[in-house]
Amino acid sequence: MKFSQQNIDFLTQQFDRMGIPEEQREDYMNIMYDFSQQVRHIESDNNPLAAAGTTSAKGVYQFTDDSVNTGLNRMGNLGYDEEYRQGISQNPAEWSDEQADSMFLSNIFAQSGSDAYLNKIGGGDAQARQDAYYKFHHTAPDEATINRVNKMMPTIQDQVVIEQGSEAFL
């Protein structure tokens, strides 16, 4: 699975806005897809029916009930049409993959300061993935989440430690 055409069009608009050169866009698109998949697996093991035990978070990206309307508003501000947004349930467990990705992408791209991180991610910066995850998606991670991030979204430092056989980051 890759991004739907709806989300490819959205990312293309964002790449235009950010001044990403045409010759780099395919790589950026693939890296953004990989990043989104890492977040899905960290948050829910990519299970749309996953639900947190301590909050209202649910779905593949674990959006809370309170964050759904914010996400829908951000989608509107970034150009997703009204009809498309109206088709998105208030319950993240009911979202299609396309809808979940739309909410995730628009939520991150709409936040102040995210362009610098997203540009680094698109350029292959592994540390920027973790930094963006903590700054724009999961702002209060517990130890278990941090361990999942280090395992599923390793930085160069994490990879060296893992290759040396340490369990410190696992």
52 φ/ψ angles, rounded to the nearest 5 degrees = -75, 145
Q: Which residues pair with 58 in a beta bridge?
A: 51, 63
Give the model confidence (pLDDT) of 37-64 as tens digits. 999 999 999 999 999 988 999 999 999 9
- Return the domain boundaries, the chain: 5-127
Q: What span, in angstroms and rounded, lies between the C-alpha atoms of 120 and 143? A: 25
Q: What angle do CA 128, 133, 139 make, to 5 degrees?
A: 130
Give the model confidence (pLDDT) of 109-121 as tens digits. 999 999 999 999 9
In the predicted structure, residue 158 carries a pLDDT above the cut 60: no
